[in-house]
Structure 1
Amino acid sequence: MAGHETHYTLPLPEFDKAPKLLIVVAPYYKDIADQLVAGASAEIEKVGGSFEVIEVPGALEVPTAIGQAHRMSNFDGFVALGCVIRGETTHYDTVCNDSSRAITLLGLQGACIGNGILTVENRTQAEVRAEVAGQNKGGGAAAAALHLIALGRRWGSARRSVGFLPEREEFQIAGDTKGPVA
């Protein structure tokens, strides 16, 4: 069982300017979500960071909220939290795969995200992983976001766009018959 193994954990980064994070949590299983948030907030506080917490209806809405905040706010990073417990239908697979995929895509677009959405077979597994005194996956997700923020600050601001942009035609002064500028 993974709970009995020991794993190396990177020391938390240090910051000259305190980071500001948004914790986005799906509190479908409220007691588990509360433990995840407690772990994440404690980790952020260890580095002198600040945070806000928002709740969304479910794990599928977590990446959408992060995407909106990444485009429209001034957060340095994000912590995605929630819990998906396998049920009797394939909905579990959809929620797990799609939320994870969307978070990964946001990260590839430059958002510094720690993914702490638990995907488990049963409630006992969720409780063990969420517990702050246990595996503390909320704290681990916050630490991941903090490490990505530190890397971003180390390398400076974006110097080039990420992804593909449609080609734009820019015209010279009105009446110019030369056509688009290459």
Structure 2
Amino acid sequence: MAGTETHYTLPRPEFDKPVKLLIVVAPYYRDIADNLIAGAKAEIEAVGGTWDLVEVPGALEVPTAIGLADRKSNFDGYVALGCVIRGETTHYDTVCNDSSRAIQLLGLQGSCIGNGILTVENRPQAEVRADPAEMNKGGGAAAAALHLIALSRKWGASTKGVGFRPPSDSIQIAETDNGSTTA
């Protein structure tokens, strides 16, 4: 069983300035979501960080909420939580693939996101993965976000100018041949 394997875990990053994360959760399976949240909160608090929590209807809305928060708020990073259990239709594949792809695209644009959306075959798999005393995937997602925040701070200013997206305050004005400017 996967739960009996031992994996290397990076040491917790240390921060000289406080970190604040947004936990975005789809609580479709409330008990599983609550365990994921508990693991994420504990990991964030272990490094002296703070968090806010928002709930969205489903896993497909998690990346949208993160994208909105990234554009309109000042969080250092994000923890995406939820659970998708395979059913009888292809909806499972769509939700798993599209939510994961959207989170990855946000990350490639410079957002520091830990993806803790479980994609499992059945409820027992989800329960073991969500339980903070077992696999603690909520804590693992928070740890991933914290490590990305540490890298972001190491390689650049703690502003939103890290990654592939240019800083929002660097609007360049093009000059025409006659000396006038256009935006």
Structure 1-normalised TM-score? Answer: 0.90
Q: How far off is 1:161 after superposition? A: 4.7
Unaligned runs of 5+ in 1: none
Q: Does 1:153 align with 2:157?
A: no
Change (3 A) 1:90 1:161: closer
Partner of 1:127: 127
Change (3 A) 1:126 1:159: closer
Change (3 A) 1:83 1:47: same
User: Which of 172, 176, 179 is matched with 1:172 structurally?
Assistant: 176
Q: How far off is 1:170 after superposition? A: 3.3
SS in 2 for 1:27: coil
1:83-122 maps to which residues of 2 (within 5 A)?
83-122=83-122
Change (3 A) 1:159 1:101: closer
How high is the sequence identity, in percent, across the aligned residues?
A: 74
Partner of 1:9: 9
Structure 2-normalised TM-score? Answer: 0.89
Q: Distance in 2 between matches of 1:161 and 1:84?
A: 30
Q: Distance in 2 between matches of 1:147 and 1:115?
A: 13
Deviation >3 Å, runs of 4+: 158-163, 168-173, 178-181
SS in 1 for 2:59: coil
Unaligned runs of 5+ in 2: 167-171
What root-mean-square deviation, in Å, do the aligned CA atoms of Structure 1 and Structure 2 show? 2.1
SS in 2 for 1:17: coil
Partner of 2:65: 65
Partner of 2:169: none
- Equivalenced residues, count: 174
